[in-house]
Structure 1
Amino acid sequence: MSEAVSFEVRGRVGWITLMRPQARNAISKDMALAMAAQLREWRQDDAVRVVAVTATGPAFCAGADLKASGTPGPGEPDLLDTLVAFFDTLRAFPKPTIAAVNGLAIAGGLETVLACDFVIAAQSARFGDAHSNFGVFPGGGGAAVLPRKIPLNIAKYLLYTGESLPAADMKQYGLVAEVVADEELVARVQAIGDKLATKSPLVLRKMKKVADEAADKPLADALRHELLELRNHQRSYDITEGLRAFAEKRTPEFKGY
């Protein structure tokens, strides 16, 4: 597994790096299982406050490794099961997640990106669905999540044509937060992760929960949810520490409760 995907903690940022450049970082069943397991471990690790996903080589990820999908035994999960479990685990991860997209992200690679909170992309990065090129149907969010992230007509263009668009265009459409020089990608994402790690992990977790659920609620319900979270947050250590640090003109030391 170490040759296919690596896991490393730098500061308080957990890095997942796909390492199959010869296969355009296509995700195998073993890789999906390992990444989901590592996310579950980091979920419980207070030392890790942010997770970044990136890859080596010219591609971020070309999707599932269909050539190595094989036939599972009776009762065993197949490649689709493990991929969806990985996407679900990444999407539900309670801490901030960043897609550091170094190159081509298509099919399951795009779905990996869609499962992250936001995207920092290298100038050479491109984004597309590509399932239609091979008569394959998306199963990890391509058709269901992409139209929630970018304008519907652009999502349909990518879904129907199988084409990919450059990072600059996807920034214009709202999927990408920043586009940086290729050689600056990892350093920039690490800097953002380091900055997020200084924030209250409790605040970020609650913000993520409210923001993720807001789109499926009427505005009044979303506002009510936000207010309830604030009421609960007023009992926390972190808000007391933050206000005390503000009054004392020092940097707060948040503990996440």
Structure 2
Amino acid sequence: MLDRALLRYFLAVVDHGSFTRAAAACRVTQPTLSAGIARLEALLGEPVLTRTSRRVELTAAGSRLVGAARRIEAEFARAEGGGVASAPARLIRIGIVSTLPAALVGAAVARAVAAAPDERLEVVEGRDRELAAALDRGRIDAMIGPDNGGTRLFEEGYGVAMAAAHPLAGEPAVAAERIAGEPMIVRRHCEALSEVSRHFTSRGVRPFMAARTTNDDRALALVAAGLAVTVMPDCFAQPGVALVPLEGFARRRVIGLATVADSARRVADSAAVAALAAGLREQAP
């Protein structure tokens, strides 16, 4: 018979990515946690985790176990909380790439919360590669991000974000050479950063960098203030900021909802995920 503690140890390793951090989260020693995982694997008759010197990964059996373990833990939590007044039984963990606007994400999440009061939605933010790794390891059930091969939500291009009062704000497109003298903001987390850099340097444009940030709200505030311009996806258009197409820059990104085989089954009938996806489709540019 499986002990609840063994499943908690297993889920802690999945969520924290290491035995050391998982042991700390469970408030046990690492040898105790390791022994618990070993006992779990002995009871199941196959390994659930692959340990390397750098990271811990799920085996095929581990990937199958994650969903069941989360459901069992949720049922325990419901029973301990008295059933009716306890937390929703179904937990959906969804990763959302950090290069989507807060307003767009917030509106879509609000729609998901309203559509599925019996589901608990956990939002995990990160870069596309980080979220893809978390999805593969079973730490999230689905991810929304660019060019991930999942269900297509919307497609968009990139433009030069500038203050609405900028002299070029009304142009149909702007060439890199025309903004050669403009200070620029570097969005360090941008998926297209290397291509943007090559686009400007290939045209002999090496602007002064007025700011470097991984916070798009900060970047937009600085653009609206007239400090500098930057290159952003079209979905970041907002009052006070003009997004003008960058001439000759053809890159586009497709925002998709991705799952893996096991997680696809867990979220297939999720009203929250369906509403979140629909909200993003309808509000995107």
Q: Normalization by structure 2: what TM-score?
A: 0.20
Instruction: Determine which structure has greater relative contact order: mean sequence separation of CA pairs < 8 Å that are 6+ residues apart, divided by chain length.
Output: 2
Larger Rg: 2
TM-score (normalizing by structure 1):
0.21
The structure that is strand-richer by fraction is 2
